[in-house]
Amino acid sequence: MITYDRLYIGGRWTEPAKKDLLEVRSPHDRSLVGLAAEATEPDVDLAVDAARKAFDEGPWPRLTPAERQDVIARFNDLYAKRTEEIADLTTAENGSARWFTGWTAAALSQQTGAFLRAAAALPWEEDLPRTDGTTGRVLVRREPVGVVAAVIPWNAPHQSALVKIVPALLAGCTVVLKASPENALVTLLLGEILTEAGVPEGVVSILPADRATSEYLISHPGIDKIAFTGSTGAGRAIAAIAGRQLKRVSLELGGKSAAIVLEDADLDAMTEGLKFLSFANNAEACVAHTRILVHRSRYDEAVAKLKDLVESLTVGDPSDPATFIGPMVRADQQERVRAYIETGIREGARLVTGGPQVPAGLEDGYYVTPTLFADVDNSMRIAQEEIFGPVLVVIPFDDDDHAVRVANDSPYGLGGGVWTADEDRALSIARRVRTGTFAVNGAPFSFDAPFGGFKSSGIGREFGTVGLTQYVEYKTIAV
């Protein structure tokens, strides 16, 4: 059993105000994974004060960009040496299948590497040419935005944390990271690596905490910017707080992404691709492709292929290498997904496979049977609302214009894709669907390219140069 009985506040392991430790239990069998300190408002005050002092008076914002990059490069090297440990602990805490947590932990070195490349190439101070005939110089500086409150969800704890901490630190900011209680252990582990890498005192704090403490953090007058990943409902509340206080804010929120399957698509490639695009991380992923739009001429064939796919997914102990889908993270999340399945049945969608029953032999955990619905109308709740679990809906369409209309008929705009043998046609559709990311035939994204959403899927972007510049303010100096 792992125990972190102190919080990481300003780079120091500090006794929390709350003496009772948080129990972190496995969603697979509810066994005790470990104990962790849980932050409350006095701990937030300490962390923000440390971050404020480190930003206003400390060395970190005043180092050269190259000096900060050296520290983050050391962090990246140290992180890479602990990926197996990190993957195991993430699986134990939140139930993500071990194949997924292993892949994610390894990929995060690439994510950080992309930020390092962006920081090395970014002109932190540059001369602009005078075009008005006057003499003198115009300097444009990129300066750190200040103290950042980074608030992250449970489904991908280190990815969500590092996609905020790394660019914020490279820009010269200080950070208070609010983690979910479900991932308290693996998130506090980051403090060990940050200290070993040489991040100065005061610069980073890590606070596992509940929603009330999170709201206290983002409302704190010492915070300059909020960076949030989570539900659209929570994002709206955070945006309202940021608006009242004129804090900078970036939001990576929910999705209900559509995969468009044209009549010339390779259905075998489509089903293999959707195995990962739709069901990775137990389908607890904002960018999951959960609306499958299929040309009417291939509809029955595609539904049969998807049925075979869904029924082939191995559900069980997430630590077993043979498992593809583990449990939902909590009992309420399990019940939420099962309730959506019951809603789909009541709405009149055709239940092709799966259902609200818990998989046999897995009653001790928070498991859901992977489920496929066909003959779905896009107005149904199961097509409009983010389920955040292993449930796919299949919707027919007649032509490209119809497919684009259905894909865009959503409050969300985070991801999506198209499957076709015609690249020009694919690009035509991709340019018309209002989403922040879009994959042609399952092509992977790049950590150098921006990631984020249209509409209710968020504000701002992450990854690469664009993600880095979410943590800077621009200053113009006329000389």
Q: pLDDT by residue (tens digit) across 350-382?
A: 999 999 999 999 999 999 999 999 999 999 999
At CA 49, angle to CA 43 and CA 53, rounded to 5? 150
pLDDT confidence bin for 321, thresholds 50/70/90:
very high
Tokens of 326: 């583990």
Which residues are CB-contacts of 129 (< 8 A; sequence separation ≥ 6)? none
Residue with tokens 């040496």: 81
Predicted local distance difference test score (pLDDT) of residue 133? 79
Q: Is residue 62 domain-shared with residue 147, that is, in the same domain?
A: yes
How many Cβ atoms from other residues are within 10 Å of residue 265's Cβ? 22
338 near 368, Cβ under 8 Å? yes
Q: What's the pLDDT band for 79 if we cut at 50, 70, 90?
A: very high
Q: How many angstroms separate the CA atoms of 309 and 303, rounded?
A: 10
- Residue 276 makes CB contacts below 8 A (sequence gap 6+) with 442
Please answer whether residues 171 and 471 qualify as being in contact, where contact means their C-beta atoms are separated by less than 8 angstroms. Answer: yes
In-domain check, residue 451: no
Tell me: do 139 and 271 sit in the same domain.
no
Taking residue 312's Cβ as centre, other Cβ atoms within 10 Å add up to 11
Q: Are residues 218 and 137 in the same domain?
A: yes
Q: Within a domain: residue 364? A: yes
β-pairing, 454-455 vs 412-413, is antiparallel
pTM of the model: 0.96
Residue 452 domain flag: no
Would you say residue 132 has pLDDT above 90? Answer: no
Say yes or no: 189 and 56 in one domain: yes
**The two three-digit tokens of residue 252, written as one number:** 């990576």
pLDDT at 291: 98
Q: Which CATH number belongs to the domain containing residue 139 in this structure? A: 3.40.605.10
Tokens of 450: 């921006």
Query: In the prediction, which pLDDT does 307 show?
Result: 98
Domain that holds residue 272: 257-446
Tell me what pLDDT residue 112 has: 98
Residues 262 and 249 placed together within one structural domain of the fold: no
H and E: helices and strands count for the chain: 15, 23
SS3 assignment, position 377: coil
Residues annotated as catalytic are: 252, 286
Mean pLDDT across the chain:
97
pLDDT of residue 135: 84
Whether 87 is in a domain gets the answer yes
CA 230/CA 90 separation, integer angstroms:
18
Does 262 share its domain with 124? no
Give me the DSSP letters along 55-118: HHTSSGGGS-HHHHHHHHHHHHHHHHTTHHHHHHHHHHHH---HHHHHHHHHHHHHHHHHHHHH
At residue 129 the predicted structure's pLDDT band, cuts being 50, 70 and 90, is confident
Same-domain pairing of 234 and 90: yes
Asked, for residue 50, whether it belongs to a domain, the answer is yes
pLDDT tens digits, one per residue of 95-118: 999 999 999 999 999 999 999 999
Q: 247 with 262, same domain?
A: no
173-226 pLDDT per residue, tens: 999 999 999 999 999 999 999 999 999 999 999 999 999 999 999 999 999 999
Whether residues 465 and 402 share a domain: the answer is no
CATH of the domain at 291: 3.40.309.10
**Domain check: are 325 and 464 in the same one?**
no
| 452 Cβ neighbours under 8 A, 6+ residues apart | 250, 252, 414, 436, 437, 458, 459, 460, 461, 462
60 domain-assigned: yes
Same-domain check for residues 391 and 310: yes
**Residue with more model confidence, 434 or 132:** 434
Does position 134 have pLDDT exceeding 90, yes or no? no
